[in-house]
Chain A
Amino acid sequence: MPVYVKVDEYKDVLDLLNMIKNKLAEAKELLSRINELKNEEDAELELWHSGIEEIEKKIEFVDKALFRPSML
């Protein structure tokens, strides 16, 4: 059973669908940008993690050195 739509409204629908398509493409682009930023964040956090471990080692060295005074 076919449904009939007025020509001008049909045109509007087509235009709207086009707009929706464009908006979806925009959303897709934004999403990939968010993903990129998230990856950047993750990489930075990973660097921090290893960096903090390095600092921990250094402080441990200092701590040991201070608790092991030289014997004269």
Chain B
Amino acid sequence: MAKKKDDSPLYVGIEDPIMLRRQLLEATRDILQYLKRYEEFKKVREKKLEIISEIRAVSNEIGKLIWRVKRLLPKTGVRLPKKKIEIEEAKLLEGARPRVKKKAKIPKPELSAIEKIESELSAIEEKLARL
């Protein structure tokens, strides 16, 4: 049976074989180029990981330094009352970002408008429930 197959092989014709070959070669070339680039990409990643570990070390050092500062400063039981701290923080925030307070004021009328709509809606719902 196998011998018969060899005697009369069948062929499939391919239209535009040059184009086909070109496409295959180009795809192979592209894949190889991407493999090459992947190696470079891996290097970039390794560098990034190195820097991340470096930054981790630096932040650890910062933590240690802060701890040392804390240790050098006297331990006092003196603490500002909570209200005073809040006022001082608010003052600091005002000084640093004067626009923040203005922005915070803006949503108020919007909220009230939403509240109005909500109350209207609940009124309508009540009316509907009575029907």
Residue numbers of A with Cβ under 8 A of B are 1, 3-5, 9, 12-13, 16-17, 19-20, 23-24, 26-27, 30-31, 33-34, 37-38, 40-41, 44, 47-48, 51-52, 54-55, 58-59, 61-62, 65-66, 68-72
For B45, the closest partner residue in chain A by CB is: A41
Which residues of chain B have C-beta atoms less than 8 A from A54's C-beta? Answer: 30
Excluding A3-B74, A47-B37, A71-B13, 8 further A-B contacts by CB distance (< 8 Å) are A19-B65, A30-B51, A37-B44, A37-B51, A41-B44, A51-B30, A58-B27, A62-B23
CB within 8 Å for A44 and B27 given contacts A37-B51, A65-B16, A72-B13: no
Judging by beta carbons under 8 Å apart, are B72 and A48 in contact?
no
Contacts A13-B73, A27-B58, A58-B26 given: A69-B45 contact, CB under 8 Å?
Answer: no
B interface residues, how many (CB within 8 angstroms): 39
Assess whether B89 is interfacial by the CB under 8 Å rule.
Answer: no
A-B contact pairs, 19 of them (CB 8 A): A3-B74, A3-B76, A4-B74, A5-B72, A16-B72, A23-B61, A27-B59, A30-B51, A30-B58, A37-B44, A41-B41, A48-B34, A55-B30, A62-B23, A62-B27, A65-B23, A68-B15, A69-B15, A70-B13
Chain B interfacial positions (CB closer than 8 Å to A): 12-16, 19-20, 23-24, 26-27, 30-31, 33-34, 37, 40-41, 44-45, 47-48, 51-52, 54-55, 58-59, 61-62, 65-66, 68-69, 72-74, 76, 78
